Chains A and B, each alone.
Chain A
Amino acid sequence: MSEMNFDQVLDCKGMNCPLPVIKTKKAIDTMDSGQVLKMIATDPGSKNDISAWASRTGHELLTSEQTDEGYVFFIRKK
């Protein structure tokens, strides 16, 4: 499942609201359209927040899973 190709990794483990969203936005800004960001967070709120952020900004949330290392998101830049 989580064997997905990605271009950049962002570690937001230990961070709380609103940092995972803001760090994700900043990481996406440095990437090219179509590239995929893997983001890992431990904040349970990030599950809903990243999804809300993606739907508002138009970047595509490919997958959102809870794994042993935390909540893992794959986001494709629009």
Chain B
Amino acid sequence: MSDSKPKRLALIASQGTLDWAYPPFILASTAAAMDMEVGIFFTFYGLTLLNKKIEANVAPQTNPAMPMKMPFGPEGFQNIQWPIPNILANNIPGYESMATSFMKKTFANKGVASIEELREMCIEMGVRMIGCQMTMDVFGFNTDDFIDGIELGGAASFLEFAADSDISLFV
């Protein structure tokens, strides 16, 4: 309940694809809404989620269990699971961008917020966002590419925050 010391959630966001962008922002925004202190360490491909414009795609080829569904038409049609074998998916030009737009559309249809909206809510509710300095150097990212209000740091910065956390997750 409401102790004097709030619960603390420490997340590592290591993936930059659309599907993996959801969990850290959903958990962070919800935890903040539950009056927890939240920090997210964005590292490796996860660092791209701090870009002003998030250009995350979903790669169905790397997610064989991903349901492939149509975001339009009658409900019965939308619920059909289309079996697209990888051998095909890997070779259809534009398959990835099609799957990405279908996923975004389906999520919007179901009333799920976009990644950008969730990130905005996190910022509004005071979620700390730490970008990995080493990843920036390695991949050649520039601070100007990122949204305002983030911190930069390394493993020690995250661990210092995480050491006093009640929940710590690697996504």
Which residues of chain A have a CB within 8 Å of any CB of chain B? Answer: 14-19, 21-22, 24-26, 43, 52-53, 55-58, 78
- Taking residues whose C-beta sits less than 8 angstroms from the other chain, chain B's interface range is 10 to 19
- Confirm or deny: B35 has a beta carbon within 8 angstroms of a beta carbon on chain A: yes
In the complex, identify which listed stretch (B59-67, B106-114, B147-155) lies at the interface while the others stay far away: B106-114
Contact of B33 among A14, A22, A43 (CB under 8 A): A22
Residue in B7, B30, B33, B121 with the greatest tally of chain A CB atoms within 10 Å: B33
Known: A43-B111, A56-B35, A57-B35. A18 touches B2 (CB 8 A): no
CB distance from A72 to the nearest CB of B (A): 17
Main secondary structure of the interface of B (DSSP, over half): loop
- Total A-B pairs in contact (CB under 8 Å)? 44
Taking CB as reference atom, which chain A residue is nearest B111?
A16
- Confirm or deny: B138 has a beta carbon within 8 angstroms of a beta carbon on chain A: no
Instruction: Kindly list chain A residues whose C-beta atoms are within 8 Å of the C-beta of B34.
Output: 21, 25, 52-53, 56-57
What would be 7 A-B contacts, judged by CB atoms less than 8 Å apart?
A18-B29, A19-B112, A22-B30, A24-B33, A55-B1, A56-B1, A58-B1
In the complex, what distance in Å separates the CA atom of A19 from the CA atom of B110? 12
